[in-house]
Amino acid sequence: METVIHANPPLGVILRSYLQLTKLPIVALLVITTVTAMFVAAGGVPDVGVMALTILGGTLASSGASALNQYWDRDMDAKMSRTARRPIPSGRISPTNALIFGTSLVAWAVFVLSFVNWLTALLALGGAIYYVVIYTIILKRNTVVNILIGGGAGAMPVLVGWAAVHNSLSFEAFILFLIIFYWTPPHSWALALLVNSDYARAQVPMMPVARGEETTRQQILLYSVQLFLITLLPVLFGMLGAIYFVGVLILGGGMIYMAARLLRQHDKVFTRAVYKYTTAYLAFLFLIMIFDRVIL
């Protein structure tokens, strides 16, 4: 399906379309995890200047990777009702311009983060490559484990944040990495259940398409339990304290409850509620980490 480019769209439409390429709500969630990693690494409030540069660079890297993802997936997006109105398949932005835009944002991210330190810059670049090449190009259309392996891309920002503070990585940083890595499957599979027909039409082997909806629900519960156990590690290793522990019990208990209920309740309304809960879960979990480091 060829993209039809609209002639001379208004400037406001062009600007909004480029913003849509960046997927700012997702970028905001990734920035929260980056900043949280900085607070945990610093044991309190990190250097404000370093944090500002890291936020800017992280935003540019994540936005650029999102634009490049949409460039590569433009043919698939055109087949799915959920994504058909995205800027490239709808014709508001040409594929070439999206490619240049995404590549430029990632390049600017590396430049900005180089003023923090080169490890931070290289980790951000690695995260963008992970998302675009490993997940989008290699895994997404070819294997049911696309989300399982590809989840590492969304976990890279915590390594970026940790490196921004210490110019090195430690096992504590990888504990934060694992939390997001194990959060990604239940979050993504809940969405896949909602748009299963879209993925089937586009021949993308997401879990509901490749293994069926019942297996997907079981896997969501299994990964929710594993996620709960992994979120206890920061307490066991002394990274975080009582505030975080209480938050983990409440949020993790809610996650397991929602996943268990999803085994019995298959309607779209509740499935959408599970998807929204998983999104809020990660944001609140990482915000609680910040409160724990600032207050205690």
CA angle 138–143–79, rounded 5-degree value: 80
Q: Per-residue confidence at 1, pLDDT binned at 50, 70, 90?
A: very low
168 secondary structure, DSSP code: S
CA distance 91 to 53: 34
Residue 290 CA to chain centroid, in angstroms? 19
CATH number for domain 11-295, candidates 3.10.20.90, 1.10.10.10, 1.10.357.140, 3.40.50.1000: 1.10.357.140
Question: Does 45 score more than 80 pLDDT?
Answer: yes
In whole angstroms, how far apart are CA 86 and each of 71, 78, 81, 94, 122?
Answer: 10, 8, 10, 11, 30
The string of pLDDT tens digits covering residues 211-245 is: 999 999 999 999 999 999 999 999 999 999 999 99
- Contact status, residue 216 vs residue 266, Cβ threshold 8 Å: no
In whole angstroms, how far apart are CA 234 and each of 40, 43, 176?
Answer: 10, 13, 8
Q: How many CB atoms lie within 10 A of CB 97?
A: 18
| Helix 24-42 and helix 48-72, axial crossing angle in degrees, nearest 10 | 140
Q: Per-residue confidence at 30, pLDDT binned at 50, 70, 90?
A: very high
Reported residue count of the chain is 296
CA angle 176–179–180, rounded 5-degree value: 95
The string of pLDDT tens digits covering residues 273-282 is: 999 999 999 9
Q: Per-residue confidence at 5, pLDDT binned at 50, 70, 90?
A: low
Q: What does pTM read for this prediction?
A: 0.93
